[in-house]
Structure 1
């Protein structure tokens, strides 16, 4: 299975705020995670974690994870399988200091899953 890595503008902006030394650590650790993923996804999922429980529906699970770069840095990503193209897509959403990780995770979750909240609303149907 091929692995495709995509990044968002927010991730690129976050990355620019780190020193060159930290950028090197981030990229090195990300490459290690990709290597783990290519060998066995369950190994990576044991090292990735979800900062908040996200309830979607019975048919869908959240693919949003926080990856530990080191004690001070967290990477907020999604890991999605695309069976049609036999590809795993890793999308890099944010890279933040640990103390900001929960807020960044929640923000990404809200933007990704905003359409799922609509399904829970009651709709009144009136026929004429």
Structure 2
């Protein structure tokens, strides 16, 4: 089902505001996190915030998610003050694993292509 333009615009604006708010946090582990995408629920009560996973070890990922969850209240207040909205969605932070899956698929396709070249030669 195609998303409405209004919802897409809201997600885009929310992504920009979150990136700005996160970079202003005092926790150095958290403020370098990069927002890849924001996906809001239909009623905009919840928003999944996808963080770029590169450069983080599994332990660092846990710490970043913990820090972001702890800072959710501050981030929501910032969004409300900057946007002028009367409500802000509940933020759910997670790492965007689709990037890693895409990399893995690219590697598999390259390997298959090399094997086919080897057989044809």
TM-score, normalised on structure 1?
A: 0.29
Q: Which has the higher strand share?
A: 1
TM-score w.r.t. the length of structure 2 is 0.31
Larger Rg: 2
Higher relative contact order (CA 8 A, sep 6+): 1
